[in-house]
Every structure is written in C-alpha cells, then in structure tokens.
Amino acid sequence: MKREPNVKNNNRTVIVLTGIVIVMFGFGFAMAPLYTLFCNLAGIQTLGGNLTTEKAAVEDTSKQSRYVIVKFDSTITRGLPWKFTPSIKEIKVKTGEPNNVIFLAKNFADESIIAQAIPNLLPWDANTYFNKVECFCFQKQLLEAQESKEMLIRFVVSTSLPDKINSLTLSYTVMNADTDSMKKYSNERQIKKTKNYLTDIYFKEIPLFYSLDKETS
Amino acid sequence: MTNEAVLHSHIEHAKPTGWRRWVCSTNHKDIGTMYMIFALIMLFLGGASALVIRAELFMPGIQLTSPDLYNSLVTNHALIMVFGAVMPAAAGMANWMIPLMIGAQDMALPRMNNLSFWFLPAAAIMLVLAFIVPFIPGGGTMVNTGWTLYPPLSLQVGMSMDFLIFTVHLLGISSILASINIIVTILGNRAPGMTLMKMPIFVWSWLVTAFLLILIMPILAGAVTMLLFDRNFGTSFFNAAGGGDPVLFQHLFWFFGHPEVYVLLLPSMGIVGSIIATFSRKPLFGYRSTVFSMMSIGLIGMLVWAHHQYTIGMSLGAVTYFMIGTILISIPVGLMIFNFIATMWRGSMTFETPMLFAIGIILMFSFGGFTGVMVAVIPGDIQYHDSMFVVAHFHYALIPGALFGLLAGVFYWIPKWTGYMYDEKLGKLFFWTSIIGFNLTFFPQHFLGLAGMPRRIVDYNLIFTEFNVISSIGSFIYGLSHLIFLYIIIKTIRGGKKADGKVWEGAKGLEWELSSPPEFHSWSKTPEIK
C-alpha cells in the first residue's frame, strides 16, 4: 500500500505553527508596555512613580503620627564621571509631614553631561506610602563641566504606613542618560584621567548632618 | 505540477552524489548526519573552551587568561554547548529517526529541513566571529556577560555583542524551522494505524520539545532584538536611564531560558526510555504516564521562569509562587524516572554501552534534580545564588540529562546509521572514563559553592585550591575521554562487524524492520500498524 501524506493538512499545520511563532514574537515585544503597566499596578517604582501634590500628601498629624527613619543611599553607574551623595545618611521624619533632603552632585568631566537618577525604595511594601512632592529624579539632570549642584527631594511618608515598618531606605542609581557619552566614559582609564575624580575636597567638607529646612511647613 | 507530482518526482529521482548530495540535500538521513557532525565539531569547540576555563581555575591567581577573556570563554562555552552541540545533535537524531519510527518517507518539509540545517554553520561562524573580533584592534570589548546576556553589561559591550545577537537570531530561526518541520511530520506523516498514543516515546519527547521551541524561541529572538535596538538605535527597552528596566530582560530571557532546559532534556529522556525498554526486553512501563509527564514538564516549565531571579527583589507572594511551581516539576520528572526504573524491574537486562549510559543517567540526573530542589527553595537559593553550587547543579542536570542521553543515542543507533557495530570494549572504556571524569569534575564544585566560591570569577581564594585542583584534573580526564568517542565513531563508520536490521535483540519498533543502514529512500512502501 502506498499512502501519500495529506499535503493540504500539512500546509494547514504549517500555517498554524507559523502563526504561533509570530504571536510569540509579538508577545515578547508586548511585554515591554505590559511590564510597565504591571509595575505601576504592583507599586514597583518606575520613572515618575510616587509623584503627588503637596496638598494630597500632607496629612493631619494631630491624631496619628509617629517617627520613622528614612535612610539614603546612592550609586553611580559605569560611564558617568559624577559624584552624587546624599547630604545626610538618614533622618528621622514624622509621618504626614513634608521633609526636604538635599543630594549633592558634581560633574567632573570637562563637558556638560545629562544624567538620570532611578529610585528604589525598600521595603517594597512601603512603596505606596512614600509620596514625593518634588524630586530631581522626575527629570533628567544637566550639569555643566565641573559644575556642582544641590538637588532636592521633598517627600511625605503617609501616616497609614503599616506599623511593622519603622525604617525605609531610599536608594538612587544615577546613570548617564546619553548612550554615546556613557560609552565614552565607560573606559576606566578615561575616568581616572578625569582630574580629581576620587579625591575632591568638596565632598570632604560636607557636614554629617545638613540642617533641614522647615520654612515651608 | 501538483503537490503529489512533486512528491513523486522527489521520491523517485536518483540518489545525488558529490557535494550536491550534502549542500542541496533534502534527504532526512543526510541532513540528520550533517546535524550530528556539526554538533560533534561544536562539542569539541565548547569542550576546548571549558578546558581553558578549568586550566585557569587549576590554581588560584590569573595564569592563562584575563578576567574579560575568562568570562568570554564562559559565554562561548555555554552558547556553543547549548545551541551548537546539544540542540543540533538532538535535532539530527530527530531527523534521522522520526521518519523511520513513524513510517514516513521523509520529513514533511524537506527543503525547509535543508534550510534549517544550513542556518547553523552561518550561526557558528557569527559566534566564532563574536569571540575573535575583540582581538582585532578596534574590535571593542569581549562578550563578558555569560550566556544570559544581561543588560546593562550587554549594552556596554563592544560590537562583538552585535555579532552574538545575530548568532542568536540565526540559531533561533534554525530551530524554529526545524521544530515546525518536526511537528508537521509527526502530526501529518504517520503511517496508517500509527495513532498518537502508539508513537515511540522518542517521537513523543520530540513533539513536546518542538512545541516548547516554537513557543519560547521567538521570545528570545524578541528579547535580543530589543537589546539590539537599545544598543544601536537609542531605544530604552532595558536602558534604565531612558525609562526601561533591565529586569524586564531577565524575565524575557528566563521565560525562554527555563523551558530551554527541558528542550535540552526531553529528547534525551525519550532516548533513555527507548534504550531501557530495549535492554530490559520489556515494553516501557507506564507509557501513558511518561507521555503525560513529558507534557506537564513542558507546561509547568513554561510557568516558573523567575526562579532564576530570586535575588532581584520580587515580592514574597511572587517568589513563593515560583518556588512552589518549581518544586512541582519534580513530580512529573520523578514519575518519568520511576517509570524507567520500573521498566528495568524484573527485565532480562544486559549492559551494553547505551544501557550503561541510561542507568548512569538515571542515577546522576536524579542527583542533579535533587540539587535542583535545593536551589528552588528561596532561603537556600539566596545563599547558593551565583556560586559554584549552581554550576555543579546544572552540569549534573544537563550533562547526564542531555549530553549523556545523546551519547547513549549515538551508541544505540549508530549500527542502524552506519550498518556496522561499534567496538563494545571501547564503548565501555569511554563510558567509564567519561563517568569518572565527569563526577570528579563536578562533584567537588558542590563543596566549593557551599563554601562560598562565586561563579564567573577568574580568580579564587586560596582556601578553595584543593577542590579546584581535583575538579580540573577530573575535567581533563572527562574532556580527553571524548577522543575515545571520536575514535569509536570514525572506526565504526569505516567498517567493522556488520549489523543486521534488528540490531538489538530486545529492540521493538518500525526503525528496526529496515535494513542497517536503511535505503536512501526508506519506507517508499508505507508500513501498516495493527
């Protein structure tokens, strides 16, 4: 007996399978917007996340308010000849009240560089209770050659922060926003050549505790 | 000309000769052979890079390589072994055996079959270029990311990363085409009477594998395409400074990467299943449950990718889900292993080389599975993450689970392919040297990892010296034992004891009803299965 395979059926199978391949390829790309959406829903920090107005964030502290500790941390990624540090390591803040903290930035390159700071807050459960009224991380920041600058974050920790959380850590990763410039400074020798990179006197003179300005409250 | 006329003319035309026979081949046997020769070359390339790695780790300090070169070798070793050696070898066996096993004249799409093979040498050249280009002045930095290609590092590597991205594209296209071909062949070209549940277990394992491949390969292709865009066209899929998220790449990569483990594993398990049945002279115990466990391995395997990323900072709920899902996979895998053991139970077993490998696989792969459960548990994994323990774990899972299965398949089917018996004594010698070498290489790495030695680092602390020395010595025994394998293959191809059609006494199935080697166009008279 001689039986030919059913070519028509096979062609249909090929078309269906090719369809699956194309759909899965598209699914990979669809993940990019879907992932951002998911992060927003899950309260994972993204650019522009946690932005609120001062009016919405500030709460009546007469009824329930307590003190929590907010710690600050910063990291500079490869390819950015900046120094970027919080002016204080940690502060004790009252929930429901606005607070200002200054981050100090300096560009060591001989040209202007644009950078972007990416926030990350731990523990994750605290994300929805941490409201930023103003933050340097919402925009790209430009520093001219050798320029130093104070950058402000103004935030309110919500009074409804769960009781188990007594301490928050806000960490910023700062990266070069321009790919070409990043590649240029990625070369470590380039960074070392940039003068005074690690031993700038500016940062040695930072007082451990920067006076918090409360004039707006 | 109608399709049928094309088929007829294809079947009846004379056997081509010379270089055209290979380059323009549409014959499943020739293409299968080419796949396997390609895989063998890649096995030696990947093995050579592994031996350089182990030679570097023989002593603390940096002797042979540089940190960048070391990581470049690690990347190459992984990519060559996964995409160059194991997958093409499995695809080659699928090409050779599936049409014989299901009574089909050839693969359903012979010309596409040719195309999917010839993508591979192109991909291999791109891969070698990605390795060589940084040595040329102005060639940028080396691919030091490991096979995972995680950004942001992969965004900073020089042009060699672009070569690597195109390599992945070519490999992806190749295996997608091969998978489509295999599925169409299995679904459409079975002999009358060969129902799905009568198919040999090897065919089933490839049907599941091929479906996995067409589901996951496009995801990897998409992910590396985004990487390419980020690198060259200023998009920000993974570039955090532009609003992207590097973690997204990890999710996409492991959505591909975890099922990929089962892509490597399942064909070998199909081979092991058929070998154990043959040499125990019993039908496979629990055929149905083996088929369903393969399907559920594929299905659950697609849903647990993030257990490779426990340390990225997921919520407790998410990691718990991934942990439970991962541990769940051990149930179908265990079921499959128990079926194999039950097949041996009270069988009249003989211990030829393929059977020795199959039994070795059951023992050592189970061990790799157990350490797999260890690394699936979150609190443990936070400790084991990125340590040599993980290296030991996945080599215990993949070398027995994938490579030994394929070697067993070579010994099992090479009399069918060449028409000659291999040298049993040499086969056993190869088995024992490679088993001893393998265990000597990777067993000490468990201890190294638990003691805190990180992976992907060129240098290590003095306290790790002893176990690294043992591991390196073992790796050289293991690596060089493959020269015996090469010798056996060459010797078998050149001649030896003639093999009859039914090579093994206990062998059952359509492929053993044909002569050894089969005619160039086999099953021109379609068999009927009762």
| More confident: A189 or A176 | A176
| B160 in a structural domain | yes
Q: CA dist B379 to B194, B324, B385, Å?
A: 48, 13, 10
Give the gap in angstroms from C-alpha B302 to the nearest C-alpha of chain A: 13
> Nearest Cα to B144, choosing from B127, B129, B131, B133?
B131
Residue to mutate among A29, A84, A141, with most B CBs inside 10 A, is A29
CB contact under 8 A, A21 and B214: yes
B248 at the A interface (CB within 8 A)? Answer: yes
Question: What chain B residue is nearest to A181 in terms of C-alpha separation?
Answer: B156
pLDDT band at residue B215 under the 50/70/90 scheme: very high
Beta strand spans in A62-197 (E): 67-76, 82-86, 90-94, 98-107, 113-122, 130-135, 141-143, 148-157, 167-176
> Nearest Cα to B434, choosing from B404, B473, B478?
B478
Among the residue ranges B5-19, B163-177, B399-413, B496-510, the one predicted with the least confidence is B5-19
B530 at the A interface (CB within 8 A)? Answer: no
> Does the structure show a pLDDT above 90 at A196?
no
Edge-to-edge strand ranges of the sheet holding A141-143: A90-94, A67-76, A167-176, A113-122, A141-143
- Tell me how many residue pairs between chain A and chain B have CB atoms under 8 A apart: 118
Nearest by CB to residue A35, choosing from B3, B248, B315, is B248
pLDDT at res. B292:
96
Question: What chain B residue is nearest to A180 in terms of C-alpha separation?
Answer: B234
Chain B residues closer than 8 Å to A18 by CB: 180
Q: What is the mean pLDDT of residues B248-266?
A: 94
Which pLDDT tens digit goes with each residue over B1-14? 445 555 555 555 56
Nearest by CB to residue A13, choosing from B184, B220, B244, is B184
Alpha helices of B133-200 — where are they, by DSSP H? 153-156, 160-188
Q: From the CB of residue A87, how many other CB atoms can be counted at a distance below 10 Å?
A: 19
Question: What chain B residue is nearest to A6 in terms of C-alpha separation?
Answer: B188
Chain A residues closer than 8 Å to B156 by CB: 78-79, 182-183, 186
The pTM assigned to this predicted structure is 0.87
Q: CA dist B120 to B35, B79, B296, B331, B473, Å?
A: 9, 13, 30, 35, 33
B109 at the A interface (CB within 8 A)? Answer: yes
SS3 assignment, position B343: helix
| Helix-, strand-, coil-residue percentages of chain A, each rounded to 5 | 30, 30, 35
Give the gap in angstroms from C-alpha B100 to the nearest C-alpha of chain A: 15
Q: Count Cα neighbours of A118 within 13 Å in the Cβ-side half-sphere.
A: 19
| B82 in a structural domain | yes
Which residues have CB under 8 Å from A75's CB, separation 6+?
A171, A172, A173, A174
Residue pair B420/B496 in contact (Cβ under 8 Å)? The answer is yes
Which pLDDT tens digit goes with each residue over B24-64? 888 999 999 999 999 999 999 999 999 999 999 999 998 89
pLDDT at res. B496:
85
Which pLDDT tens digit goes with each residue over A6-64? 778 888 999 999 999 999 999 988 888 888 787 777 666 555 566 677 777 777 766 77
Domain count, chain B: 1
Residue pair B29/B113 in contact (Cβ under 8 Å)? The answer is no
| More confident: B8 or B391 | B391
Nearest by CB to residue B184, choosing from A14, A29, A124, is A14
| B404 in a structural domain | no
Which pLDDT tens digit goes with each residue over A85-138? 898 888 998 888 888 999 988 888 888 899 988 888 878 778 788 888 888 888
Q: Where are the domains of chain A?
A: 1-42, 54-204
Which pLDDT tens digit goes with each residue over B323-350? 999 999 999 999 999 999 999 999 999 9
Quote the crossing angle between the two packed helices B201-232 and B160-188, to the nearest 10°. 150
Nearest by CB to residue B218, choosing from A25, A176, A183, is A25
> Does the structure show a pLDDT above 80 at B263?
yes
B235 at the A interface (CB within 8 A)? Answer: no
Give the gap in angstroms from C-alpha B256 to the nearest C-alpha of chain A: 10
CB contact under 8 A, B180 and A17: yes
CB contact under 8 A, B245 and A9: no
> Nearest Cα to A57, choosing from A99, A91, A98, A92?
A98
- Cα–Cα distance for residue pair B17/B21, rounded to 1 Å: 5
Chain B residues closer than 8 Å to A12 by CB: none
Question: What chain B residue is nearest to A29 in terms of C-alpha separation?
Answer: B222
Residue pair B290/B326 in contact (Cβ under 8 Å)? The answer is no
CB contact under 8 A, B187 and A17: no
| Radius of gyration of chain B, Cα coordinates, nearest whole angstrom | 23
Which pLDDT tens digit goes with each residue over B132-142? 999 998 888 88
Question: What chain B residue is nearest to A26 in terms of C-alpha separation?
Answer: B222
| More confident: B222 or A194 | B222
CB contact under 8 A, A18 and B180: yes
Which residues have CB under 8 Å from B310's CB, separation 6+?
B319, B322, B378, B381, B382, B385
Among the residue ranges B198-207, B442-451, B464-473, B521-530, the one predicted with the least confidence is B521-530
> Nearest Cα to B327, choosing from B389, B370, B391?
B370
- Cα–Cα distance for residue pair B220/B147, rounded to 1 Å: 12
Which pLDDT tens digit goes with each residue over A147-183? 888 888 888 888 888 888 889 999 888 888 887 787 7
DSSP A176: E
Nearest by CB to residue A4, choosing from B7, B155, B222, is B7
Chain A residues closer than 8 Å to B184 by CB: 10, 13-14, 17
Percentage of chain A exceeding pLDDT 90: 10
CB contact under 8 A, B218 and A24: yes
| B94 in a structural domain | yes
Chain A residues closer than 8 Å to B180 by CB: 14, 17-18, 21
pLDDT band at residue B95 under the 50/70/90 scheme: very high
| B420 in a structural domain | no
CB contact under 8 A, A5 and B234: no
**For residue B243, which phi and psi values (nearest 5 degrees)?**
100, 0
pLDDT at res. B10:
53
Percentage of chain B exceeding pLDDT 90: 77
Q: Indicate the class that CATH gives domain A54-204.
A: mainly beta
Report the alpha-carbon angle B33-B218-B241, nearest 5. Answer: 130
CB contact under 8 A, A27 and B222: yes
Chain A residues closer than 8 Å to B245 by CB: 35-36, 39, 46
Tokens of B76: 């190459």
CB contact under 8 A, B226 and A29: yes
> Does the structure show a pLDDT above 60 at B352?
yes
Question: What chain B residue is nearest to A122 in terms of C-alpha separation?
Answer: B313
CB contact under 8 A, A35 and B245: yes
Look-up: residue for tokens 């990897």? B220
Q: Please, what is the average pLDDT of chain B?
A: 92
**Partners of A176 in the beta sheet?**
A115
> Nearest Cα to B8, choosing from A10, A2, A12?
A2
Nearest by CB to residue A5, choosing from B108, B216, B219, is B108
B184 at the A interface (CB within 8 A)? Answer: yes
Residue pair B47/B482 in contact (Cβ under 8 Å)? The answer is yes
Report ipTM (2 d.p.). 0.84
Give the gap in angstroms from C-alpha A194 to the nearest C-alpha of chain B: 20
Range of the domain at B192: 26-199
Which pLDDT tens digit goes with each residue over B393-429? 999 999 999 999 999 999 999 999 999 999 999 999 9
Chain A residues closer than 8 Å to B155 by CB: 179
pLDDT at res. A212:
42
Q: What is the mean pLDDT of residues B20-24?
A: 87
Beta strands A67-76; A98-107: pairing state: unpaired
Tokens of A118: 């990416």
Beta strands A113-122; A167-176: pairing state: antiparallel
